[in-house]
Structure 1
């Protein structure tokens, strides 16, 4: 492993500062902005370094995509609210006489069902089930945990997602892997070894049914919700604008659960999966654009005025703006971490520990540290796959063995760890958004479970390394 150029220990400063300030101040936007500002000053770029960082980072196709995706998702959610679709869904589920536990299990299953997009899943689950969980006195923190833990951890286990395509694409050219079908085959073979993702999804179900206790901050949040009826703590700042949380259904218009809710969801799923099968890439943003347009047309045919439809769409866009601002700053911090060589420094100080027995465990640990520090799973994959998998092939004589599969899975699971629980992660932000939960409250209540699963995963990989 050749060390990447980095700023040494200083390269950890921006990400560390952002995480620490976020917990201290409970204001993620302030923490990220200060971290970016201090980072550019540390690199000697002066006062103009901060606006320059924002311009270069946000003026990209990648950020434009996430920006448009969030705006269209906000529009669809606002249409759901305005047509009473979510209220209709709530009534439909309530007719099944569900219990508090079963309502949470519904959210868990819905999160696993929407496997094709870790962006759509937490927003869809949170916004759709929130009315139900509020009614059954389930804390917003618990809902955010369920929505978050069934997004990226599920997406990375399914071989027909963008995650599978991206990871397998990185594997082409390594060892005996020469073609895309061979790379996909390796990804599939590695799925059983992705301990972190499997345990993350399973743990949610065990927490819901009470086999795993709600410890620490999560336990306090659940006790507050059950005994006081407060789904959010006093003083919490939900990461969803009042434009969405306070949007009331249009009066005097009869709407349909199937036309106003089920059909748009089917459009999103069909377009996303269909484009993946035909084009090899799930067009998620285009799927939400199509759903928003179709739903807008249906609303007009149902008698809702055009001005009201446009106003509702704008309210939806405004409602997701807090999340967009955080994502913009998180993307900037991620770019800053790349420029300062944060990942390279972490790799440089850990590469001496690599042995055949420790390879899966150290790979998972390093990938987890990088993803938590940067909030980027795919960025972690791009860094760690070319570094760790060739080492595995060297140890196995360019032969596909369980050690190789375990190493690929360790990179995937380690990357998901940060995507799953880092306060800098886009998925973590979207889980807080969909659930209308205070972002730091979500992070604080989720981290103990994520760390517990990561610890078990590390022990399993140590055992696998000794066995393999």
Structure 2
């Protein structure tokens, strides 16, 4: 890490400008665009720096993958609405879960169940539960929070997800961790020490059940929804356009089979994602959505919906998902800029001097949170922090896998998710806003107090363990 060039404090300015502007203007796309342009000039790249940066950031497999995933998600949501599947599912849930509290708890449980993909979970839960939660006047901000805080936190504490495989892969070769079996075993042992992720999931359940009352901006959003019937703030810009929210069922007077139009496509997604994870070691989420989209398109034609209508619906789905795609475009661009400018390297350099055995998990947690907040990527944070922090922990422990090592691994994982939850640049946070059809900055603003509460508790626990000598 020390060999990577960094522009020092200047490297922190582009993500900082993006985040400050996003909260000030409430326009995430504009804020990210301005920050990218300023960052290019700060890096000394000149006028051609911006298009060159975008080509570099977007012309790769990583962006292509999430771009296609977003497109297929948009088409599938449009198909669900055109066939009436969402309405039918909402009616079924609504009949069985009449009270507001039971619906909130059901949404929480659904987020826990769809643990295998942090990309699928917030979009699926938000889209399927939105009409149900709208009926009981639950704010879209609350729905986005439940979706977001049961996606990444669950994915990082279940040892059979892509997150577990990724983190385990980074551990191979560090100290006594010689192969993937050792790595997965160590990761599994670290799960109880991932206080942020575990407590985040618990807090959602406590709030959904009413044991802990809403507070901060979320309380205002909930009062607005219940007392004024306004599910979103006046003047807000939901992160999903009217092309996708205003699609009516093709057949007005009859409901098509929910089994064929909803449950089977969802089963296809789950089967392919889990099957490829078990068989290939990597969940093919994008391919799963593609297969479900093609299947449902064929079913719609057999059910009597004209081909032209199916294609128009698909195009509306693509149009509707474009606000989220544009944010991802600029988020990837500013992340590439941060990498060029050495943002993460600078943050590590200014904190390395503080590291000691007792403070290592706490400082690791904080540093991972700051990097994830600045870059909007948990996985990027893991890739930076694990090769740095875990060898230090193993060195402090004399080459053994003890509590300091397990706590440090968990601190990287939890800190990455914590920073991700607070950052408007995060792709999973963007997807939660998309699924709930809420203004992105409104979602981030209302979620931050809950994330910070859990983050402080997690930090205190790490500090306490450090003071007790682990």
TM-score bracket for this pair, using the shorter chain length: over 0.9
SS of structure 1 residue aligned to 2:205: helix
CA contact (8 A) 1:3 1:347 kept: no
SS of structure 2 residue aligned to 1:399: coil
Q: CA deviation at 1:210?
A: 2.3
Q: Report the Cα distance in structure 2 between the residues aligned to 1:226 and 1:136, rounded to whole angstroms.
A: 8
Match of 1:419 in 2: 420
Q: CA deviation at 1:12?
A: 0.7
SS of structure 1 residue aligned to 2:225: helix
Q: Report the Cα distance in structure 1 between the residues aligned to 2:289 and 2:295, rounded to whole angstroms.
A: 10
CA contact (8 A) 1:83 1:250 kept: yes
CA contact (8 A) 2:390 2:405 kept: yes
Count residues with an aligned counterpart: 468
Q: CA deviation at 1:47?
A: 1.2
CA contact (8 A) 2:84 2:255 kept: no
Match of 2:388 in 1: 387
Q: Are positions 1:213 and 2:233 aligned together?
A: no
Match of 1:286 in 2: 287
CA contact (8 A) 1:253 1:302 kept: no
Match of 2:115 in 1: 115
Which has the higher mean CA deviation after the structures are superposed, 334-343 or 245-254?
245-254
Match of 1:173 in 2: 173
Q: Are positions 1:32 and 2:32 aligned together?
A: yes
Q: Report the Cα distance in structure 1 between the residues aligned to 2:256 and 2:422, rounded to whole angstroms.
A: 38
Q: Deviations over 1:285-333 (max 9, x none)?
A: 0000110111111111111111111111111111100000000100000
Pairing of 1:193-272 with structure 2 (within 5 A): 193-251=193-251, 254-272=255-273
Pairing of 1:151-162 with structure 2 (within 5 A): 151-162=151-162
Q: CA deviation at 1:97?
A: 4.3
Match of 2:359 in 1: 358
TM-score, normalisation: structure 1: 0.99
Q: Are positions 1:399 and 2:416 aligned together?
A: no
Which has the higher mean CA deviation after the structures are superposed, 417-426 or 433-442?
417-426
Match of 1:377 in 2: 378
CA contact (8 A) 1:137 1:226 kept: yes
**Unaligned runs of at least 5 residues, structure 2:** none
Match of 2:301 in 1: 300
Q: Report the Cα distance in structure 2 between the residues aligned to 1:76 and 1:232, rounded to whole angstroms.
A: 24
Q: Report the Cα distance in structure 2 between the residues aligned to 1:320 and 1:48, rounded to whole angstroms.
A: 29
Q: Report the Cα distance in structure 2 between the residues aligned to 1:466 and 1:184, rounded to whole angstroms.
A: 28
TM-score, normalisation: structure 2: 0.98
Q: CA deviation at 1:253?
A: 5.4
CA contact (8 A) 1:3 1:345 kept: no
Match of 1:132 in 2: 132
Distance 1:326 1:73, change over 3 A: same
Q: CA deviation at 1:5?
A: 2.3
Which has the higher mean CA deviation after the structures are superposed, 27-36 or 1-10?
1-10
Match of 2:328 in 1: 327
SS of structure 2 residue aligned to 1:95: helix
RMSD over aligned Cα atoms:
1.0
CA contact (8 A) 2:421 2:447 kept: no
Q: Report the Cα distance in structure 1 between the residues aligned to 2:388 and 2:305, rounded to whole angstroms.
A: 56
CA contact (8 A) 1:171 1:385 kept: yes
Match of 2:319 in 1: 318
CA contact (8 A) 2:112 2:150 kept: yes
SS of structure 1 residue aligned to 2:138: coil
CA contact (8 A) 2:111 2:150 kept: yes
CA contact (8 A) 2:88 2:255 kept: no
Instruction: State the 4+ residue runs in structure 1 displaced beyond 3 angstroms.
Output: 1-4
